[in-house]
Structure 1
Amino acid sequence: MSSEDQIFDRSWAEALVTAGLQRLSADYKGESKETLFNELRIFLTSGAEPLPAYSELAVRLGMTESTLRSHVTRLRARYREALRAEVRRTVETEAEVGEELHELLRVLTRG
């Protein structure tokens, strides 16, 4: 694969991730949970950044650790759906959605 193709693929992947995060952010804002989204977003985008300890974050947010874990689990599921929705807009069939998501993961993990 040429470096131009790799640059294109990386740009495509980053655009989808950004669109998925924006969609999810808008959803949380619409539910008056913007602060929660902003605090938990790191669990979707941490990369090399260390994740906060659940116990410390739960205290900061004024909830139990188990409630925080539930919020993070739901956030990740909603993020997957937001990414699927963004990919779905670019392809014709549901089978292609899965293929494109697989490609997205490949591109993002390639670095």
Structure 2
Amino acid sequence: MPSPPNKQTLFFTTRWTLVRDAAKGGDTEATEALSQLFETYWQPLYRYVRRSGKSQQDAEDLIQGFFTQLLSTDGLRLADKDRGSFRSFLLGSLKNHMAKQWQHDHRLKRGGFSPHLSIDWKDGETGLSIEPADPATPDRLFDRDWAMALLDKVLDDLSKSDHGQDFDRWKPFLSISSGKLAYAEIAEAFGMTEGAARVAVHRLRKRYRQHLRDEISRTLSDSESVDEEMSSLFAALSE
């Protein structure tokens, strides 16, 4: 009998596959992998709740209750991959949970809802208190926060695959358009030829684009929608 896939393999399968496997019940590896996924994307959900008018404490209670409900088999069985993106599924599920939020005496004690999740609430509050008034709806701001969380994850994955130090050296050039890159200065600073500098930047950008497409494709039920999802998320970042 083949050995079961490890957590690393599970984490990089499609999100809907993880949901399906965890919803069967008894698949603790799939559930733990989903917990890791939520640790990556909990902030956009938390910030959505805060922008919807909830206090910090109420938002924490809501997110904890939401994750607890979703990580249970009953919660995951409500997942429908035909809804499209995992992003839309999570937000839709959160809205349903908010509409049915527990009364005060049924709330979970903060910090005790799941042994699998590690959340630093201060991270979710970062910038909210000084955020200027924004005419965009919480839904549109959720898309922006999701895009930022996704980009952070892709950069973190790249850093790990490139063993950190070399990636940190080249990372700043991802945010500069090719036409504005001073390759001669880069070559001199890094002790290489200008041609080698161009190749290094090109390869990094190629890996970045591929990691980004892979990450986005895992959040969709239809891999053919990657370009549309990428356009949507970058549009959210530009607003």
Same-fold call, TM cutoff 0.5 = yes
Counting matched residue pairs gives 103
Q: Which amino acid aligns with 1:82?
A: H
| 1:40 counterpart (170, 184, 193) | 170
Match of residue 222 from structure 2: 93
Q: 1:26-83 deviations in whole A, cap 9, x for unaligned?
A: 1111xxxx43321211122359xxx662212211211111100111111111101111
Percent identical residues: 39
Match of residue 161 from structure 2: 27
Q: Which amino acid aligns with 1:108?
A: L
Q: 1:36 to 1:65 in 2, by over 3 A?
A: farther
Measure the CA separation in 1 of the matches of 2:184 and 2:166: 16
Does residue 16 (structure 1) correspond to residue 150 (structure 2)? The answer is yes
Q: Give the match's secondary structure for 2:208.
A: helix
Using CA pairs under 8 Å that are at least 6 residues apart, name the structure with larger relative contact order, 1 or 2: 1
Q: Post-superposition, which runs of at least 4 consecutive aligned residues in structure 1 deviate over 2 A?
A: none
RMSD over equivalenced CA pairs, Å? 2.1
Q: Which amino acid aligns with 2:201?
A: V
Q: Which amino acid aligns with 1:11?
A: D
Match of residue 5 from structure 1: 139
Long gaps (5+) in structure 1: none
More helix by share: 1
Long gaps (5+) in structure 2: 1-134
Match of residue 83 from structure 1: 212
Q: Which amino acid aligns with 1:60?
A: A
Match of residue 70 from structure 1: 199
From the CA coordinates, give the structure whose radius of gyration is larger: 2
Measure the CA separation in 2 of the matches of 1:24 and 1:36: 10
Q: Which amino acid aligns with 2:143?
A: D
Measure the CA separation in 2 of the matches of 1:70 and 1:7: 36
